[in-house]
Structure 1
Amino acid sequence: MSSKRLSVVVTRRLPEVVETRLKELFDVTLRDSDTPMTREELVAAVQEADVLVPTVTDTIDAGLIGQAGPQLKLIANFGAGFDHIDVATARSRGILVSNTPGVVTEDTADMVLALMLGVTRRIQEGLAVMQAGEWQGWAPTAFLGGRLGGRRLGILGMGRIGQAVARRAAAFGMQIHYHNRHRLRPETEDALQATYWDSLDQMVARMDVLSVNCPSTPSTYHLLNARRLKLLKPSAVIVNTSRGEVIDENALTRMLKAGDIAGAGLDVYEHGIKGNPELRNMPNVVMLPHMGSATEEGRVEMGEKVIINVKTFADGHRPPDQVIPAML
C-alpha cells in the first residue's frame, strides 16, 4: 500500500473513542446522525471510499457492490455477523470482507440468561404491575414462575456464544444439551457436561428451554419452522439472541397465542425491527430491541477490532478477521 492515508467511510455513529482513533489513523468520513444510511448514501460511499465500515443495519448486496468504485478494497464490518453482506460478490470483485468476532460473546450470553429469567420468573408481568401502580401487596400464589435449576437447556449452535451460555446455565443447575453442525471435541464436551444430539428434532422435543445461538445462513433460515416448533413441549420456553430468520416468527406467534409454547424471550425478529405486533401484547413474551451485545465495553472492543483490520490492510497485509468462504 502507498503512504497515502486510506479513505474510510463509517456508516453509523460509533463510540467516540473509536471514531477519534479512526480519525487519527485514516482519512475518515464520520456520520453526524445516528441513523442508517439511505441506499443513495451507501452508493456514494462505495464509490468514494477505499474502506467501508458498515453495520448490521446496512444491506451490502450484489447491487450495491456492483456500483462500487475500483478503489474499494475492504468492507470492515462493525459486528460479528455478516449475513447482510454479499461476501461472494465482494470476493469476486476483489474486495475483502472482515468482521469482529469474539468480542460480544460474554455480553450476548449474559442476555440469554437474562431472557430465560425474564420469561420463567415472569419479570415482565411484575414490571408492568409496578409501573401501572396496581400492586396490591405480596401474596403466596402471586406471580409464580419456575426455577431454571433442573431444567434441560437445548442450545442450537454451540460456537463461542453457545458455549458461554452453557457455562452460565450450568451454574444455574441446568442440564446442557446441544445441536451443532459439528460435534465438539470430547474434552470440550466433558468440560461443559454437554450432551450432543445429532437429530435436532429429537433434541427439541425433549428440552425445557431452547436457546438459538446459530448464525443466519441459507441452511439455518426457518430452521425452527412450524413443524419443528410443534415438537416443543407446551411447557417449553424459547430464547433467540441470534437472528430472527432462524425462527418462523408467524408460526411461533400462533403457538404462543394458543398456549402450545409456554413463553419466549426475543432480542431479534424476522420481519423488521418491531417484530410481529401480536407478540407485544403477550405477557409470556419478553421482547428487547437487539440489546444482546449492547455494552460499552463490547462496542469499544468491536471498534478496536475494526481498527486493527483496517490498519493491517493499510500496512499491506490481510485483515486478521477476514471472512473466508469456509465461514459462509
Structure 2
Amino acid sequence: MAERRPRVWVAQPLFDDTVAQLAAYCDVDATTAITAHDSAALAARLAGVDGALVTLNERIGAAEIAAARSLKVIANVGVGYNNLDIAALGAAGIIATNTPDVLTETTADLGFALLMAAARRIVESDRWLRDGHWGQWSFTTMLGADLHGSTLGIVGMGRIGQAIARRGHHGFGMTVLYHNRTRLPADVEQAAGARYAGFEELLGRVDHLLLALPYSAQNHHLIDAAALARMKPSATLVNIARGGLVDELALVDALAHGRLAAAALDVYENEPDVRPELRALRNIVLTPHIGSASLATRRAMVQRAVDNLLAGLGLGAHAGRPANVVNAGLLAGTAAGVGDAGSRIDINKR
C-alpha cells in the first residue's frame, strides 16, 4: 500500500509558483483569497493537516491546535513570530519556523526611509502641497532636522539594527549609539560604526531613536511617558519592530504637545487597527507593516518558509533539517517523517 502524502495548508495567497513546489511532495490546500481566519476557522483548518504555511495574520495558540493531532510543522512567513504561542506549540511537539536573514537589508532600508521621512517632514510636506498651501510659503516653512552629523540611537542591535547602524555611520556620518541586552563584540561594533550606551543615557543623547528589538512581555511599553520625557523635544522616534514596544497614547501626547518633534511607525499595538489619535497627528508617518515589502524579499521569504516546511516534514533537499527553527529544542538530529505512523518529534529528547 502506498505511503500517504502529507497534507499541508497555506493560509493566505502568496506566490503561486513558489507555493507550487509543495505539490511535488504534499497534498496542498492553498487559500486563494485574502482571508481573516478566526480562531474556530484556524482550528478547523489545522485539524486535518501535517503542516501549515502561515503569515503574521494568523494567531495560533493552544485552542487552535487542540484538535491538530497530525500537525508537525508551522512555517511562519516573517522573522517575527509573536503571532504564535511558542510554548503551546512546543508542548504539543509542533515545530515552528520563521524567515530571518532574507529580509534584513530590505527592512533596514525601510527603517532608514522612515527616519528620513520623519526628520525632514516629507509626508507632512506632501500633504501641505496637495492641499494647496504652497502660496503661504515662508523661509521657515517645513523646517525639519538633519540626519547627517546627528546622533542616532538604536535599541536592538541584531541583524537589522546593525544594518541601520552601518547606513547611518558610513552613509550619513552619524554618531551611532546602541543599547542591547548583550553588548556586541568589539569587531562587530567597529564594523557597524556603533558604540554601546546604557538605555537611559541613550534616550537623553540621541537626535533620532529607532527601535529594532524583538517584543516580549518584559519590554512591553518600553517607550512609555517616562522614556519619552527623557528624550530631546527636537528628537524623532521610529518603530519598525513591534507595536507593543511603544505606549501609543503616551506618544500621541508627546507629539501633540511638542515634547517630541516627530515619529514614524510601521507597526502598531492592535494591527491592523490604528488608533485614530495617531492618524490625526500631522507630525507622524504611518506605514502598514511594510518593512520587508519588496518583491525580491517577499519572494525570498516565501521560498524560505516553503523550504522550512518541507524540511520539518522530513521531505526535500534538507529533510529533517529546517534552517530556522524557533523552538529548536524539538529537533533531535532529524525531524520525524510523515510516513512512520505520523509520529511527532519527541520533545523530551535533546
Identical residues among aligned pairs (%)? 38
Aligned to 1:267: 266
Mapped partners of 2:258, 2:67: distance in 1: 50
What is the DSSP-based 3-state SS (H/G/I as helix, E as strand, rest coil) of the residue aligned with 2:162? helix
Aligned to 1:183: 183
One-letter code of the match for 1:319?
P
Mapped partners of 1:255, 1:130: distance in 2: 26
Question: Could you tell me the TM-score, scaled by structure 1's length?
Answer: 0.93
Aligned to 1:320: 323
Aligned to 2:92: 93
Larger radius of gyration: 2
What is the DSSP-based 3-state SS (H/G/I as helix, E as strand, rest coil) of the residue aligned with 1:230? helix
Gap change, CA 1:132 and 1:17, over 3 Å in 2: farther
Gap change, CA 1:212 and 1:22, over 3 Å in 2: same
Shift of 1:306: 1.0
Worse-matched range after superposition: 266-275 or 172-181: 266-275
CA RMSD of aligned residues (A): 1.8
Aligned to 2:107: 108
Mapped partners of 1:319, 1:58: distance in 2: 21
Shift of 1:323: 0.7
Aligned to 1:156: 155
Aligned to 1:223: 222
Aligned to 1:232: 231
Gap change, CA 1:3 and 1:277, over 3 Å in 2: same
Shift of 1:138: 6.6
Mapped partners of 1:265, 1:236: distance in 2: 12
Tell me, yes or no, if structure 1 residue 10 matches structure 2 residue 10. Answer: yes
Aligned to 2:45: 45
In structure 2, stretches of 5+ residues that fail to align are 330-350
Aligned to 1:21: 21
Shift of 1:208: 0.7
Mapped partners of 2:93, 2:137: distance in 1: 65
Shift of 1:311: 2.0
Gap change, CA 1:71 and 1:120, over 3 Å in 2: same
Mapped partners of 2:224, 2:103: distance in 1: 27
Aligned to 2:283: 284
Mapped partners of 2:63, 2:328: distance in 1: 20
> 1:106 touches 1:161 (CA, 8 Å); kept in 2?
yes
In structure 1, stretches of 5+ residues that fail to align are none
One-letter code of the match for 1:310?
L
One-letter code of the match for 1:132?
D
One-letter code of the match for 1:33?
A
Aligned to 1:36: 36
Shift of 1:35: 2.4
- Please list every run of at least 4 consecutive aligned residues from structure 1 whose deviation after the TM superposition is greater than 6 angstroms: none
What is the DSSP-based 3-state SS (H/G/I as helix, E as strand, rest coil) of the residue aligned with 1:278? helix
Question: Could you tell me the TM-score, scaled by structure 2's length?
Answer: 0.88
> 1:17 touches 1:300 (CA, 8 Å); kept in 2?
no
Shift of 1:141: 3.1
Mapped partners of 2:184, 2:3: distance in 1: 45
